[in-house]
Structure 1
Amino acid sequence: MRHYIAVIHKDSDSSYGVHFPDVPGCFSAGDTLDEAIRNAGEALRFFAENSEPMPVPRSLEEIRADPQVGQDIGLGCTFAAIPFFLDAHRTVRANLTMDAALLEAIDVTAKARGQTRSGFLASIARKEIFE
């Protein structure tokens, strides 16, 4: 899994804005910092699914040394590493070990939500990775 560095900025009269120096044209926003970061991950995935291959991400140090980003630093922006991967569109079997009562609770919850155990666990993992 790769991480892309997001530059996050906020003017006093606006929402949080997000852009990616390594992915020109990919941007996002949110009313709160948490929402902006969550939306940034979705923006990366949407951009990747609808464009050319994604560029190789640079490190935070390389981003901070970029003269164009230097202007943003002067404006009081902050940075966030946004995890990124695209679905492989294939499934693999995995053997997991956990407490029997926890597995039973997972199965009950998944069934109540109309999901399979695998689908439920995958949705929880995505939430934990991207939020």
Structure 2
Amino acid sequence: MLYPAFIEVDTDGSTSGWFPDVSDCYFAGDTLEEAWEDAKSAIEVHFELLTQNESELPTARTM
């Protein structure tokens, strides 16, 4: 399943973002590439924790 992400790039090139369909899942990096790697890691860890806690995984919106 694919989850959309919002990404903001600051004037210094640093990047941060979040997944609107996944509560409390954020990512950041000094570059867009670093932020993208952090995003993949953040959502993976977030879903692992939800699974461990037997919580329901969020539904991704259709695009």
Classify the TM-score, shorter chain: 0.7 to 0.9
Judging by fraction of residues, say which structure has more helix: 1
Who is 2:35 aligned against?
A: 36
1:16 alignment partner AA = T
Post-superposition Cα deviations, 1:65-94, rounded to whole Å, max 9, x if no partner, equal xxxxxxxxxxxxxxxxxxxxxxxxxxxxxx
Instruction: Point out where structure 1 has 5 or more consecutive residues left out of the alignment.
Output: 61-131
Q: Counterpart in 2 of 1:58?
A: 61
Deviation at 1:59, TM superposition (A): 2.5
List alignment gaps of at least 5 residues for structure 2: none
Alignment check: 8 A CA contact 2:3 2:21 kept: yes
Counterpart of 1:26 in structure 2 is 25
* Conserved? CA contact 2:21–2:60, under 8 Å: yes
Q: Which has the larger radius of gyration?
A: 1
How many aligned positions are there? 59
Matches for 1:85-100 after TM superposition, within 5 Å: none
TM norm structure 2: 0.80
Q: Secondary structure at the match of 1:21?
A: coil
Q: What percentage of aligned pairs have identical amino acids?
A: 39
**What TM-score do you get using the length of structure 1 for normalisation?**
0.41
Distance in 1 (alpha carbons) for counterparts of 2:10 and 2:46:
25
